[in-house]
A = this chain, B = another copy of it.
């Protein structure tokens, strides 16, 4: 056998002259198998260096082969695509995803208990917010953690993140070509780190561009909140010239509400920009000008960083920031 090829139960079965399921039964507790078969299998397995199960592997390598991936229900990221990439890229490194969904902050204690119990080799948190004393717990347990789509300064966690500042600057530069007077910033929820970061960057950049008329609205990242925020605004105010949405999903809600219920033309009457570059942002009905997150590269960075920390726990924390791609859609008025 080539030295680096992982020995499978199928290889052992071939060598021992038995079925694969016979091999598997030998190594599964509580299942019956004849002594003769057991002997054949054990001889072949020992000779080939076969590591049959999670228990054996954990006892030998002190690694469970599992990475906890925590997904918040508040996830704004292109969640299915990110999760699928994480699963694929970890599988390529012979690690498996143990999935946790975090719905309310009260569930954190139990979630952490599960993470200690399953002795995962590391943690990737997608869009989940953890207080710094929580992040410290990972360190106390010697479990490396990578925060995806987070930029937590001065923290002990590793982070990967898209460059929000550069992206939002590119979007505002597009909008400013028409010299809009009245801006709306449609922020994500106040308890989202990313939403707060994107909103504050937009406000600060608009100041640098000498824009004076800026109003802030708060949605919850959902389609419906995009619709509701615009409808409520239009009840008492004239339409703005430009709307900066903190994600694409709210931008889609804004466009639908404007077009279908207020007969407002996008982009002639209002220019709209989003963020993330989700699949539906490119659909013909929307064609949103946005920043596409480099999901594959972000995940690659997150996985690489996590594996480095698993191998070398003492590495200092690191923040990796990748640049998104400006998508020039059809939601910003052409000058």
- A84 interface residue, CB < 8 Å from B? yes
- Taken together, the copies of this chain in the complex come to 2
B55, A142: Cβ atoms closer than 8 Å: no
**Complex interface: chain B residues within 8 A of A259 (CB):** 284-285
For A54, give its contact among B64, B87, B103, B110 (CB under 8 Å).
B64
Looking at A88, A99, A223, which has the most chain B CB atoms within 10 Å of its CB? Answer: A99
For A88, give its contact among B28, B52, B103 (CB under 8 Å).
B103
Q: Chain A at the B interface: mostly helix, strand, loop or mixed? A: helix
A98, B10: Cβ atoms closer than 8 Å: no
A55, B59: Cβ atoms closer than 8 Å: yes
For A98, give its contact among B73, B97, B116 (CB under 8 Å).
B97
Q: Which of A203-260 contact B (CB under 8 A)?
A: 223, 227, 252, 255-257, 259-260
Contact surface of A with B, Cβ cutoff 8 Å? 8-10, 19-21, 24-25, 28-31, 52-55, 57-59, 62, 64-66, 69, 71, 73, 79-80, 83-84, 87-88, 91, 96-101, 103, 109-110, 113-114, 116-119, 137, 140-142, 223, 227, 252, 255-257, 259-261, 279-280, 283-286
Q: What 7 new A-B contacts, CB under 8 Å, besides A55-B119, A259-B285? A: A31-B142, A53-B118, A54-B117, A80-B83, A84-B101, A91-B101, A256-B283
